[in-house]
Each structure stands twice: as C-alpha cells, then as structure tokens.
Copies of this chain bind each other. A is one copy, B any other.
Amino acid sequence: MTSPIPYDLWYWSGIPGRGEFVRLPLEAAGIAYRDRAREEGDEAVLRHLERMGAYPAFAVPLLEAEGLAIAQTANILLWLGERHGLAPADTAGRLWAHQLQLTVADVVAEAHATHHPIAASLYYADQKLEAERAAACFRNERIAAFLDYFERAAGSGGWLVGEHWTYADTSLFQLVEGLRYAFPQRMAALGGRWPKVAAIARRVASLPRLQEYLASGRRLAFNEQGIFRHYPELDGP
C-alpha cells in the first residue's frame, strides 16, 4: 500500500463492530485508509464527533475523504461501492447490493439486541434474563429467516450480486463469522442449510488481500464488548 492515504476511518479501536463492515471491502480492494482510533485512541473519536460541523454523524463508523464525512455503515459502503466499483454501477445492481447490505444491517442490530434487549446503555448483567429470552427467539426464528433469505437471494455467479465480489459479500462473510462466534451451537445445529451462503463466506475469506488481512494484526477478534458476543447462556442447539 504505497498509494497516498485518502481515507480516514473513525471507529472504536477495541471491537470489530460495525467498523469491520467498512474495513473488509477496503482491505479486499487494497484501498489505503488510516484507522484513526487505533492510532490515537477512542478519545480522539469522541472529540472528532463533537467537533464536526455541517454534516455531523450520530455515531461511528465515519469515513472521511476529500472534504466528505460519511456516516452510517450502509451509506459508507454505498459511497465506496460507487467510487471503487465495489458494487455494480447500473441502477438495478447498485440498489440490489444496497438492499442486501441494509438487510445485513438489520440482522446485525437484532444480534446486538440479543444481549442488550432493554437498552444499549445498561450492563449485560442488568438485562441477562431478558437477554436469555430474546436470544432464544433470535436463535430459533431469526437466524434461519435471514440466512434462508440470503440463500435465496444469492446469485448464480458464486456471489450475492453478479460475477464479482461486492461489499454485500464481505458483509455477508462478517455476518456469518459473527453468528458462528456468538451462537456456535445453534450454527452447528443448522449445519449445511445454506450452501450458497457458506460458499460465499469461504470465497470472501479466500480473496488474496483478505487472506493477508485476516491473518494480520489489523483484524480484530470478536469479543464480549462488541455486537457479536459469545455468552454460553445465550447459545443452544
């Protein structure tokens, strides 16, 4: 990566979280970026959000380049997709990739709500019983509903959209990885139910630049501060 660094990514330094959905296509396409909180700490993120002027962000991830400051994960990916050909350029394909991304975002929000069903601002310990109820419903109904959908939506070219990987594929990969981390028993029990989804996840992990990234220190491990958390009491077959 000897090209000039055009992008500044602002996201919390200790979790993959929603930031990882931005990092993955940047890494897969070899697009250079500075991961600001990993250089300067999370306090720098808070200061930056407070300082923003005309186009403030409600939350991170936030991606900046050339005077633009774009927030909301799906919006960032829409922008990257258009600028770098990480999604089809025609209207139908561009909106289809975005639709899939927004549906991934819905699963991500529901996955987070399994361990924080009452409020994101409360500790897990203060909503653990509610989390056990919520996680059971998510495990038993929602995982299959969503992954059945992505299996149906997957294209015939080995990817979600068209003949090449798009940001929708890197997002589906991260979603599947997250679900496997958080709900290993349930995902094992569902086994080979989604062959196309599983193949896309394997293909994403095999992209040359992603192989290198996933083995690097830049790739953050899932942990119990993030969206996908492994609490054994929330998993089950």
Binding site for B on A (CB under 8 A): 54-58, 68, 70-72, 74-75, 78-79, 91-92, 95-96, 98-99, 102-103, 106, 109, 113, 117-119, 121-122, 127, 130, 133-134, 137-138, 141, 146, 149, 152-153, 155
Contacts and interface: CB of A to CB of B under 8 A. Distances in A.
Q: Which 5 A-B pairs have the closest CB atoms?
A: A119-B137, A72-B102, A117-B117, A72-B99, A58-B149
Contact of A117 (B91, B96, B130, B149): B130
Given A137-B122, A149-B56, A72 B92 contact: no
A112 to B, nearest CB: 11
Main secondary structure of the interface of A (DSSP, over half): helix
B71 A99 contact: yes
A30 to B, nearest CB: 22
A235 to B, nearest CB: 17
B117 A56 contact: no
A55 B130 CA distance: 36
A68 B90 CA distance: 12
A98 to B, nearest CB: 5
A95 B118 contact: no
A93 to B, nearest CB: 10
Contact of A75 (B70, B98, B130): B98
Given A68-B91, A70-B95, A119-B141, A153 B102 contact: no
B99 A118 contact: no
